[in-house]
Amino acid sequence: MKQWFCVRTNSKCEQRAADGLKRKGFEIYLPMAKRRVHAKGKTEKTYPLFPRYLFVDPLNLGFYEIKITDGVECLLSNNGIPIPLPSRALADIQALERLGYFDETTEVLRLKEGDKVRLAEGPLKDFVAVLKNASSKRRVEVLLTMFGRPTPYFVPLHALRPA
């Protein structure tokens, strides 16, 4: 199982730090978001979701190599000991990124009607449903098969995972 740690980068050096860590053999995750920057929506910009932060799996290569990488300011730590992130938190961020939650350039999700999704939280956790309506980025409608027939159910986007 991967053990992720949070790296603080120098100002506007997220990509430089990510490239340097990759060259050294580390596995990194730099969550990205997208938005329109022109008033008429003609230009799109991709930017780090968490400015000055990225996530790294040390892979037994050591923390010292992370700290001396160009663009890296420090590892988040407590009394000099790097703090591992809860794997669930990073998995949630990755799932939301795959679903297009941080992409402000699209009006609908990258999921389409009929796709199977898994509910990740709530009273119906781990149920598999079929996506019915994904016209909103915040709340979507799914069809659950309950008592032998499809039942509509509204759920927030962050509670869905690809099945």
Domain boundaries, the chain: 5-98, 116-162
Task: Taking residues 69-92, report their average pLDDT.
Answer: 91
Model confidence at 161, in pLDDT bands (50, 70, 90)?
A: confident
List CB contacts of 66: < 8 A, sequence separation 6 or more. 5, 7, 21, 26, 56, 58, 72, 75
104-124: pLDDT as tens digits: 766 445 667 888 888 888 888
In whole angstroms, how far apart are CA 68 and each of 7, 45, 58, 124, 160? 12, 29, 13, 46, 38
161: Cβ contacts below 8 Å, ≥ 6 apart: 95, 117, 118, 119, 120
Quick one: fold of 5-98?
A: Alpha-Beta Plaits (3.30.70)
Confidence of residue 27 (pLDDT cuts 50, 70, 90): very high
Mean pLDDT of the chain: 85
Would you place residue 83 in the very low, low, confident or very high pLDDT band (cuts 50, 70, 90)?
very high
Domains 5-98 and 116-162 belong to one CATH topology: no
Mean pLDDT of 71-84: 93
pLDDT, tens only, 48-75: 999 999 999 998 888 999 999 999 999 9
Alpha-carbon gap, residue 2 to 159, rounded angstroms: 23
- Whether residue 23 is predicted with pLDDT greater than 60 in this model: the reply is yes
**What fold characterizes domain 116-162?**
SH3 type barrels. (2.30.30)
Per-residue pLDDT, averaged over 70-92, amounts to 91
H/E stretch holding 96? helix 87-98
